[in-house]
Amino acid sequence: MHLIQRMKIWKELRRLEQRAREEPSPSTFVDLGQVYINLEMNDKAQRVAEDGLALFPKSAELRKLLDCARRGMRKQRASELRTKLTRSPNPKLFRELAQLQIELGDMSALHATCQEWSLRFPDDAGAWLVLGQSRLLNFYRDLAAREGQEAVRCLERAVQMDGEDAQARRLLGEVLYRIGAVRTSLDHLQALQAHQEQDPELEALLRHVASLPDHGDDVDSLLDEVEEHGCLAHPSMAAVSPRPMHDESLARIRDSLAQVAELAGVRKAAYIKGSRALVKGAIRDGKDPFLRVVRVVAKAAHRFARRLDIGSASKSVVDGPFGHICICVYGEVLAGVQCDAGTDLEVVLAELQEIVAGSLYSGTHDA
């Protein structure tokens, strides 16, 4: 960058900083944060976004700025780790780099990192554990049989290499019982219990799994059934455990959904968590076409984004003669709205994002 260009940027930066102090607005904070990002000062961009959200908590633009700044910081850290690994490779650095690549959604880089990790340290099961974790995240999100098969294969490899690896054994046991392989899951969870001191949480998990019906040990067939039916065979322990704050949190979500339903142009609104749904508007039952469209589009958008290796889809809009269907999704939690043509979609999507984010923050969604 030429000296004159740098001077112009710093002059613009000082002007925006002064404006943010004297006349704060979402656009001013976004402009200021973007300049910091252009200067590769992502930590300052993050602070600007957080300051802006403290004043304007419903600003979708500021949330995007915060995501962008955090992503930039992760990329900077990943670059630093790659440099360190070139000089002095060790499993701890490989693990940190791989976890960052999972957060960035950079699957091709993750696979390359894990391949190098396993070649340099063939006795370290960590590379297979991290690969299994990434595949497992994809499987729980999309319920795609292929992702489930790869997750099980990687976790089994990690367990074979290190039978006392509690994390790999537990993840494997959990995914197996969720798809219906209860007996095989119990074998892994009991082996985990034998290598650990008394763990009340693990004991509760064993009781939960032991109470479930077994659907056999053909993992590939069970995964195919999960993909075909679009749901897991058994709920997680968290889904059936009582939560003291559940009713209060659910009431907050219901109130937020009612506010969205009152927006101009909105005809139907829904909050969906797993197989359960809260609805507002002219929705007859669980077979309502609107609910089906929301579920199908959310899943299809995720799969398409993953296929293109561009991360994960969080917001989608479907246009048609019915108007618009807006969807905001994260994991098993999603919120959707059907509204008339001409409705302010940015406002609707921002409200849906608030519902989903609030649900995640309060911990009301099932694992």
Q: Identical fold at 3-75 and 89-240?
A: yes
Fill in the amino acid letter for 79. Answer: S
Q: Which CATH superfamily is domain 246-362 in?
A: Dynein light chain 2a, cytoplasmic (3.30.450.30)
Q: How many CB atoms lie within 10 A of CB 350?
A: 17
- pLDDT digits 0-9 by tens, 117-132: 999 999 999 999 999 9
Residue 104 sits at φ, ψ, to 5 deg, of -80, -10
pLDDT at 97: 94
pLDDT at residue 6 is higher than 80: no
Token pair recorded at residue 117: 């990790």
Question: Over the chain, what HEC string results?
Answer: CCHHHHHHHHHHHHHHHHHHHHCCCHHHHHHHHHHHHHCCCHHHHHHHHHHHHHHCCCCHHHHHHHHHHHHHHHHHHHHHHHHHHHHCCCHHHHHHHHHHHHHHCCHHHHHHHHHHHHHHCCCCCHHHHHHHHHHHHHHHHHCCHHHHHHHHHHHHHHHHHCCCCHHHHHHHHHHHHHHCCHHHHHHHHHHHHHCCCCCHHHHHHHHHHHCCCCCCCCHHHHHHHHHHHCCCCCCCHHHHCCCCCHHHHHHHHHHHHHHHHCCCCEEEEEEEECCEEEEEECCCCCCCHHHHHHHHHHHHHHHHHHHCCCCCCCEEEEEECCEEEEEEEECCEEEEEEECCCCCHHHHHHHHHHHHHHHHHHCCCCC
For 135-174, the pLDDT digits (tens) are 998 898 888 999 999 999 999 999 999 988 889 999 999 9
> Does CATH place domain 89-240 in 1.25.40.10?
yes
Please state whether beta strands 315-320 and 276-281 pair in parallel, antiparallel, or not at all (unpaired). Answer: unpaired
pLDDT in tens, 18-44: 888 888 888 888 888 888 888 888 998
Q: Where are the domains of the chain?
A: 3-75, 89-240, 246-362
Name the token pair of 40: 């590769």
What are the tens digits of pLDDT across the range 292-302?
788 787 777 76
Percentage of residues in the chain having pLDDT higher than 90 = 32
Classify the C-alpha dihedral 166-170-171-176 as positive or negative.
Answer: positive
Chain segment 207-233, per-residue pLDDT in tens: 999 999 999 999 999 999 999 888 888
3-75, CATH topology level: 1.25.40
The predicted-structure confidence for 269-322, as pLDDT tens digits, reads as follows: 888 876 667 888 777 666 677 877 887 877 777 666 556 554 555 788 888 888
Distance CA 131, CA 151 (A): 7
Give 232 or 239, the one with higher predicted confidence. 232
Give the long-range contacts of residues 29-32, CB within 8 A, separation 24 or more.
Answer: 29/56, 29/62, 29/65, 30/61, 30/62, 30/65
